[in-house]
Structure 1
Amino acid sequence: MSTNKLKERLDKGPVICAEGFLFEIERRGYMSSGEFVPMVSLDHPEVLENLHREFQHAGSDVVEAFTYNGHREKMRVIGKEELLEPLNRSALKIAKKVALDTPKGSKPNLMAGNISNSNIWKHNDPQSQKEVEGMFTEMIGWAVEEGADMLIGETFYYAEEAFKALEIMKKTGLPTVLTISPMGENKMRDGKSVVDTCKELEQLGADVVGLNCFRGPATMFPFLKEIRKAVKCHVGALPIPYRTSEDYPTFFNLPDRSNCACPSPHGRTFPTALDPHFCNRYEIGKFAKDAYALGINYLGVCCGANPMLIREVAESIGLTVPASKYRENMENHFMYGKNKRIPKHMTEYGDKA
């Protein structure tokens, strides 16, 4: 009997994975932007649990433990290294609780342990690489102990760091997702091409390879087309919901609008002044539909995601989810609707407004 629940589901159809907890928790007032350390699992666990439930309600099949940036190096930066293990275990327990608590009659969601870019990996530097290996090993160990069904390694911009992450993940025997995040150079920071990195990740045994974060639909999709052609395994597509472009391929370098009256005090839109660049739900839905048409079954949204966008991903590929009950119904709008009870003078005004 196969134990790879993720691959079984992907072989049958789409799997939705909600990411983007950093931005959404910060928007809700429970995280410091820029610092981006997920202390919420210790400070306000009920907030994190509720967000997981909202994403699940919107159609996410994966409950990804919020341990992004919850690694030893980040905890050292903020001077709270002693809280490293409690933070990780709390986040994992919350994710497992929500994953098992699905609506009656539906199968449990998959709980995913998570590791991410360390920010200290350095090319040709064995000392930094050994330190990163230790960080990944302890986090993956806690994920296994807390009952993870799968493991996600994400947001790697060094190919070699992604390979090391996958090597450690594979030792557990759990299903593995490895998504990379090329910077504006359109290649990995250690020189390897994006497509070649994904090909090597497949050869090393990843169940899903692909892209997450940094890039919006416009600058992620071209790479996805190449990756889908180059690999036989499942492909993951989790963009940011921001309007990146050929001139500005990632959200790190998106410019302020020329008429912005209150530019960000740190001189760039990332991460606190990206609002004018936000994609609407229909753009995200089109991206998901187009990616699914390519044969990409592992879909989601990364930094900037919210439950409404996850619902849009699910519905755009033909799924009905619990939150579909509350999708838009303009038929009953007081000014734009066609319901016979809406006064004619209001609809006439709406036609002119």
Structure 2
Amino acid sequence: MSVHNQQKRSLSNRLAEGPVVCGEGYLFELERRGYLQAGSFVPEVALENTQALEQAYRDFMNAGSDVIVAFTYNAHREKMRIIGKENLVEKLSRQAIRSAKKVAIEHPEEDALVAGNISNTNIFDPEDAQSKIEVRAMFAEMVEWCVDEGVDFIIGETFYYHEEALIALEEIIKGGLEAVITHGLMAEGVLRDGYTVEDSCRILKEQGALVVGMNCFRGIHTMHPYVEKIRSSVSGHIAALPLPYRTTEENPTFFNLPDQGCTCSIPTETTFPTSLDPLYHNRYELAEWARKAHFETGVQFIGLCCGASPAMIREVSEAVGKVAPNSKYSPNMEKHFLFGQDETLKQHNLEYRTKA
């Protein structure tokens, strides 16, 4: 039943009723679609190709994401300064949110939640007091724009310093919005200012975050043990949004993943970021992880991060018991000419499938 004419449920209300799926990965997805530059990874697409961004929002929402995350990841003054467009930071942020709100109301059952987004700044230095002032100012203005544009909550993500995450949380709370705070954990297995991820999440939860957890950097197998530690340390809602890449104990993040099957030289030092294609998990592996994360570990805010496709998001959504708007397009091999079961299929093709 459509609830478009009713009050849209908040994030906290939805979490109380069941899992919330958050499809991220716009950064890599829009680079694949040809609208974003790998390397600088700044979401200029919000201004330069607004329709392309809105279609990505739409595709992820229809695949089962309950949340449209306004694509302002890396749209802060430091990243915009590097590409010489700092004067566009506010315009870009506001447009990304407006596009998200435009698409959110297209959901056939209930308007998608629209999340503002702030992220690691790459200038935070625990030994530099001035950097902390600059980081807070960057977060404060982004939160202000989120409040002005009417987002439902804010995600602060990919923090590898506890203190930077805490500053983000403080500014979100000042803005009066619900906060989801997630860490990106580097290969050493602790945050760069020495906190374990579970201790940091516990503190962030105590300081007012609605949801705490992890996103990005790590795939399902190298992230999940830390998610379990967070679950043991934190009461309330936790988040997990891993990569869909096959990270390993030897290479726990996607920054240094090797590809032993590559037969050519690549222009980058490692497979990150543009040669990761052969290193994907398939959708069924991701679904198996999602079921474990939600039903066994108790992850309520669940999704995928960089590298995710709509088909992967749909698999995660269905794995945790939801039906996506585009679930009608989920795989069904019954009619396939080689592998189907339909009795009207041609027998000579079915017999040939072992040789195909």
Shift of 1:314: 0.7
* 1:252-297 deviation digits (Å, cap 9, x = unpaired): 010122x311232122100000111111000111111100012111
Residue 99 of structure 2 aligns to which amino acid in structure 1? I
Q: Distance in 1 between matches of 2:86 and 2:213?
A: 31
Q: Is the 8 A contact 1:255 1:268 kept in 2?
A: yes
Other-structure match for 2:39:
34
Q: Is the 8 A contact 2:222 2:247 kept in 1?
A: yes
Q: Distance in 1 between matches of 2:175 and 2:83?
A: 30
Q: Is the 8 A contact 2:8 2:111 kept in 1?
A: no
1:182 and 2:185 are equivalent in the alignment: yes
Which among 9, 12, 16 is matched to residue 7 of structure 1? 12
Q: How does 1:334-345 map to 2 (within 5 A)?
A: 334-345=337-348
Other-structure match for 1:276:
278
Residue 190 of structure 2 aligns to which amino acid in structure 1? K
1:152 and 2:150 are equivalent in the alignment: no
Which among 62, 73, 84 is matched to residue 67 of structure 2? 62
Q: How does 1:326-337 map to 2 (within 5 A)?
A: 326-337=329-340
Q: Is the 8 A contact 2:240 2:302 kept in 1?
A: yes
Other-structure match for 2:4:
none
Q: Is the 8 A contact 2:104 2:111 kept in 1?
A: yes
Other-structure match for 2:82:
77
Q: Is the 8 A contact 2:28 2:307 kept in 1?
A: yes
- Stretches of 4+ aligned residues off by more than 2 angstroms: none
TM-score (norm 2): 0.96
Residue 310 of structure 1 aligns to which amino acid in structure 2? I
Other-structure match for 1:289:
291
Residue 18 of structure 2 aligns to which amino acid in structure 1? G
Q: How does 1:1-353 map to 2 (within 5 A)?
A: 5-103=10-108, 106-257=109-260, 259-293=261-295, 294-353=297-356
Shift of 1:96: 1.2
SS in 1 for 2:270: coil
Q: Is the 8 A contact 2:8 2:110 kept in 1?
A: no
Q: Distance in 2 between matches of 1:315 and 1:152?
A: 23
Residue 42 of structure 1 aligns to which amino acid in structure 2? L
TM-score (norm 1): 0.97
Aligned residue pairs total 349
What is the identity percentage for the equivalent residue pairs of Structure 1 and Structure 2? 53
Q: Is the 8 A contact 2:25 2:307 kept in 1?
A: yes
Q: Distance in 2 between matches of 1:120 and 1:334?
A: 56
* 1:280-338 deviation digits (Å, cap 9, x = unpaired): 00011111110001211111110001110110011111211111101111111111111
SS in 2 for 1:214: strand
Shift of 1:4: 8.1
* 1:51-70 deviation digits (Å, cap 9, x = unpaired): 11111111111111000000
Shift of 1:3: 10
Q: Distance in 1 between matches of 2:266 and 2:120?
A: 26
* 1:160-197 deviation digits (Å, cap 9, x = unpaired): 10011101111112111000011000000111111101
* 1:104-154 deviation digits (Å, cap 9, x = unpaired): xx2211111100000110112101111111111111100110011101000
* 1:31-73 deviation digits (Å, cap 9, x = unpaired): 1101101000100000011111111111111111000000000
